[in-house]
A and B are shown apart, each in its own frame.
Chain A
């Protein structure tokens, strides 16, 4: 039904475009000068057709369900039902009217279902009537305006500009959406669990909260020693640290080599090859770490008499480091190439060798940019999920031994939210609280890193 109406409106839009352009030609034939190209007259009419249709459609989508629900539930208003029961009744009658209801059909529900259907059909037909009359009215008004040869290009361009502006708001909306989706659950979480326990507690056993009866859920004392995030934060930074221990030396040195030593030919092949490492999906790294690196390290450790967990932090962190190599190497390569040649020439003129120039002149000059690229790498390591989920442990141990297993923020979010979630459960809310802390930490890192890189760029441009 909606589809037919929509097609019809689109057709109307095309027709009004046609009429608008035709009008322009008629004006032209009377030797009057047009104020814009003929097609703008057409666009103008088409926009006047689209705007009312869009407004009415969206208003309808927002208000129709609420109004229908109110009308149906007004039948039950004096019978002492609770809100939840009313909602259930409404959902039942809706399901029945679609023929999807499987429970027991009471006469009440049947009556409401019938009422629901009739209300829906009334709503549909009134929507058609209102939309069509609004379109016709607005197009007629606009047609009258263009026959007086008034301006059409400016309004059309203003409209397009508004569309472009709305699209550019998408980024802000996404950020707002992220903050909103995290903040409410997080606030609810901290209503039950004190912030202090979360930030300084050293025991993390969310599964413990799960087995408890939900009726007891609001007793905060039950959760002490359940949601202490210290082991998780520690694990996150520990694994990120291991990753950076792999990524910084290799990434930085290959960046320096590519920028300063490599011939054009080596650079041409080596750079894209290293960047392939960044294009490999993280789940693939996770599989590699869990299937190859983990067991390999375990065997290696056993042969040396060490006890290595098959899901060691070292395996996850090491593979994560490999993943981050190209981020650091490309960015530091860019940064080093943008150091002005005059600095190099000056150093060579003083008799310094190439490596001395790099170490004493170029590296200090490029340091802000390199720090920025490392910070971006750290932010990526902290936010990395799949490698940790697949290759490191899921139990949160507070340890600094790279051969044991630890867990991270991201891994815990996945562990908690995989499968069915009950909103309002402290365990689910804990995942959002973790997400919030992850978002804040990476946000700070990103802002600082982007600032530093930008400042650095401005310095040499």
Chain B
């Protein structure tokens, strides 16, 4: 009998331990996913912050550039750089036949003519001389140099030919290939060529949409929260508003995209693909989040504050504006920032209102067509070229960086400025 009891007890203790283990492993799994995830993004993305350059000697031959003896600035602007650019690439292999010369040309970005031109514009004395110029390597060679491109594939499955690899290896051996910090990733707009594509346009698009979103959502949400928390009578209509707000907070974001498409674009005829429409759509989406946060922080202000103000003869409006609202601001602000961070990462509604258009200019106002950072991630992720994979990860790193900064900021505001009522 006693033995039986002990067995039962042991069984129960074992079950206890197993249960505990399940819980621990669940947490472990969740954290493991997070780690794999972040590791994967960083390991594919960090290389995008480096860019590969080929150092190629360029002879600035006045004759080939169709320049006179003493060219003016305009002459230099209008000169023909294509021939010397082509020649300097062809000179990498003196024995190259015509096809191979073509392949040599494709080792650098199609932008190489401009890079050579800029070199001369910076220093007009170079005419007739030879100088080693940094040229952006094509995205495929860039990937080869970073080791992301399998070299052992059969040649017809590679976008880089054996010949190009041979010349490239020679350049590497001579120290004529260099990797430098990729500034153009932050200053260029989107491009069809992976080596030139940058996040400047989508970054500005994100900033503009978030600003529009902030300017609409913040005031409306704060006013609504003040009304609902401080003035609204308790009746059916107020309940209805509350049900609405709670539901809106859980409506899928793509439905807001349909709203933007069906109302803002189709009825109000606002300009398509612009951060203005994107911002308005996002503001409708963040509105409930901010209202809920603002109400919570208004509720956290103790009634004694209100009672004291009322006892001093202040009206209800004065009490609210002078005391309750300022005291609730830290909580409201941090809720707003978290809402904006959500909006910053939102993609689906922006796709529906046309912010996926290919934009190769940097927008200067919310009325110009633009993409946004998450949409840029989507656009690049859908491109087939290998060079875009690391760009996507790098763009994700930038986006995550922003989200982390915003969330930290929200935390700081909450902890630094919020009064603790005890």
Contacts and interface: CB of A to CB of B under 8 A. Distances in A.
Contact of B20 (A170, A185, A261, A410): A261
B232 A172 contact: no
A280 interface: yes
Nearest to A382: B252
A345 B352 CA distance: 54
B346 A281 contact: yes
Interface pairs A-B: 10 shortest CB-CB: A383-B252, A257-B23, A281-B345, A181-B262, A167-B223, A253-B26, A355-B19, A164-B227, A385-B348, A168-B224
B241 A438 contact: no
Contacts of B308: none
Contact of A284 (B251, B258, B399): B399
Contact of A379 (B248, B250, B348): B250
Contact of B263 (A177, A389, A449): A177
A401 interface: no
Contacts of B341: 279
18 contacts: A164-B231, A167-B219, A171-B248, A175-B247, A250-B29, A252-B26, A257-B20, A284-B374, A284-B400, A286-B378, A286-B381, A288-B37, A291-B392, A359-B19, A376-B250, A442-B250, A447-B243, A450-B246
Contacts of A379: 250, 252
Nearest to B13: A353
B109 interface: no
Interface string A176-188: 0110111011000
A274 B35 CA distance: 11
Contacts of A431: 258
Interface stretch (A118-126, A141-149, A219-227, A414-422): A414-422
A336 to B, nearest CB: 12
B27 A257 contact: yes
Interface of A: 153, 157, 160-161, 163-165, 167-172, 174-175, 177-178, 180-182, 184-185, 249-254, 256-258, 260-262, 270, 273-274, 276-277, 279-284, 286-288, 290-292, 322, 325-326, 329, 353-356, 358-359, 376, 379-380, 382-386, 389-390, 410, 413-414, 417-419, 421, 423, 431-432, 435, 438-439, 442-443, 446-447, 449-450
Interface stretch (B137-145, B149-157, B283-291): B283-291
Secondary structure call for the B interface = helix
Contact of B253 (A182, A279, A355, A383): A383
Nearest to A281: B345
Given A282-B347, A359-B19, 4 more contacts: A170-B220, A250-B29, A254-B26, A261-B23
Contact of B34 (A277, A284, A290): A277
Interface string B371-394: 000110110011000000100110
A177 B259 contact: yes
Interface string B251-282: 11111111101110010000000000000000
Contacts of B392: 287, 291
A353 B12 contact: yes
B27 A254 contact: yes
A282 B350 CA distance: 13
Kindly name the residue among A170, A185, A431, A442 whose own CB sees the greatest number of chain B CB atoms within 10 A. Answer: A170
Nearest to A160: B317
Contacts of A376: 250
B298 interface: no
B239 to A, nearest CB: 12
Contact of B22 (A169, A253, A423): A253
A258 B27 contact: yes
Contacts of A277: 30, 33-34
Contacts of B351: 414, 417-418
Q: Interface extent on B, as a size class?
A: 35 or more
Nearest to B27: A254
A250 B251 contact: no
Given A168-B241, A284-B41, A417-B261, A174 B12 contact: no
B311 interface: no
Kindly name the residue among B19, B245, B356, B407 whose own CB sees the greatest number of chain A CB atoms within 10 A. Answer: B19
Given A153-B315, A287-B377, A355 B16 contact: yes
Contact of B352 (A326, A417, A449): A417
Nearest to A159: B317
B244 A356 contact: no
B27 to A, nearest CB: 4
Nearest to A353: B16
Contact of A329 (B12, B30, B262): B30
B215 interface: no
Contacts of A250: 26, 29-30
Contacts of A182: 255, 258, 262
A249 B377 CA distance: 31
Interface string B171-193: 00000000000000000000000
B40 interface: yes
A330 B141 CA distance: 47
A447 B243 CA distance: 8
B247 A447 contact: yes
A182 B256 CA distance: 10
Nearest to B288: A171
Contacts of A354: 16, 19-20
A114 to B, nearest CB: 25
Contacts of A322: 30, 33
B317 A356 contact: no
B224 A287 contact: no
A280 B345 CA distance: 8
A347 B1 CA distance: 25
A173 B284 CA distance: 10
Contact of B287 (A171, A282, A413, A417): A171
A423 B269 CA distance: 13
B421 interface: no
A170 B284 CA distance: 9
Contacts of A447: 243, 247
Contacts of B254: 383, 385, 410, 413-414, 435, 438
B396 interface: yes
B381 A423 contact: no
A273 B15 contact: no
B403 interface: yes
